[in-house]
Structure formats: C-alpha cells, structure tokens
Amino acid sequence: MTHREHTPSVGIAALKIALVASREHRAYVDELVRAAVQTLTQQQIDKEQIRMMWAPSAFQLPLVAKSIAESHDFDGVIVLGALAKDATDRYFFEGAEVYRALMDVMMNFGIPMSVGIASGERLADVKHAVRAKAEKNVGARAARDLIDILTT
C-alpha cells in the first residue's frame, strides 16, 4: 500500500467525491445518500463530480473504499450505511471492524474520508438517525465533515 499526501488542486466546485453506500437496509441508506448529495450540491459541488458506488453490506464498505483510494481519482470519500441489531450482536462487531478498516484505508492511502453509518439497537433507532432534520442527518453530517476536511 502506498501513502499519498492529499492536496486538492481545484476549487470546491470541481472536487471529485466518491460516495460509497451499503445496500443493506436500503430504504434508510437511500435517505442518507440523498441528504449527502443535497449537502454537497448546496456547497457548490457539481453533481457530475460525485460518483456513487454500492457495496452489498456494511462489511464490504472498506473494500470498496480501498479500491477508490488505490485509483487516486478522487479528492475524498463519503461512506454511508445502516446497521441495526438483529437476533445476534453481529452489528456491534461488524460496526467496529468496518470503522477500523475504513480508518486503515484513510491513513494508509492519505485520502480524506468521512463516515456516516446510522446504527442502533433497533431499526427504529436507525430510522431516527436517518430521518433527522438536515443538520442532524447522518448522511448530511458526513458530507459536511468531508467538505470541512477538504477545505481546511
């Protein structure tokens, strides 16, 4: 793995953003994606500069993020997903490992990344995180965080 310094050479409107999302709990994730794209476009990032990619579940998000980082084609990555406790505690372990693996990708490749994974004990908790007003929506927050990283 190679490390690269991140130095965007373009103005905010021309930033190339990869948006990676999980298909698991798709109804909720679609709302995160919508909020993230809306936030990016409100900040003058052209929709043509946003590339959407999907992973089957949250578990595969780090692999997709790694392939994006290896391409060196993007200025930053937003990762979105939803995890809810089911009959097992799988989501505790999966969530922790997904975050750890995403941090490894960010640190090893030097690509700015923000993560918006709505999680909770029940799907109702996930729904609350997803359907929150714009300033509290997990997808919108992830987009704002990435813009802050890229413009600071």
Q: In this structure, is residue 9 part of a structural domain?
A: no
What is the rounded distance in angstroms from the CA atom of residue 18 to the CA atom of residue 107? 17
pLDDT at 97 over 50: yes
Instruction: Identify whether 1 is part of a domain.
Output: no
> Mean pLDDT across the chain, nearest whole number?
87
Task: Identify the domain containing residue 67 by its residue range.
Answer: 14-151
| pLDDT score for 4 | 43
Overall average pLDDT of the 131-150 stretch: 87
Which parts of the chain fold into alpha helices (H)? 26-42, 61-71, 90-109, 123-130, 138-151
Number of domains present in the structure of the chain: 1
Residue-wise burial string across 54-68, b where 16 or more C-beta atoms lie within 10 A, e elsewhere: ebeebbbbbebbbeb
Task: Give the C-alpha separation, 18 to 122, whole Å.
Answer: 29
- Share of residues in the chain with pLDDT > 70 (%): 86
Domain assignment of residue 30, yes or no: yes
Q: Which amino acid is at 145?
A: D
**What is residue 1's predicted lDDT score, i.e. its pLDDT?**
39
> In this structure, is residue 110 part of a structural domain?
yes
**Segment (H or E) for 84:** strand 76-84
100 within some domain: yes
Task: Flag whether 4 is in a domain.
Answer: no
Tell me which amino acid residue 3 is.
Answer: H
Angle between helices 61-71 and 90-109 (to 10 degrees): 10
Residue 142, domain member (yes or no): yes
What CATH number is attached to the domain comprising 55? 3.40.50.960
Task: Assess if residue 6 is contained within a domain.
Answer: no
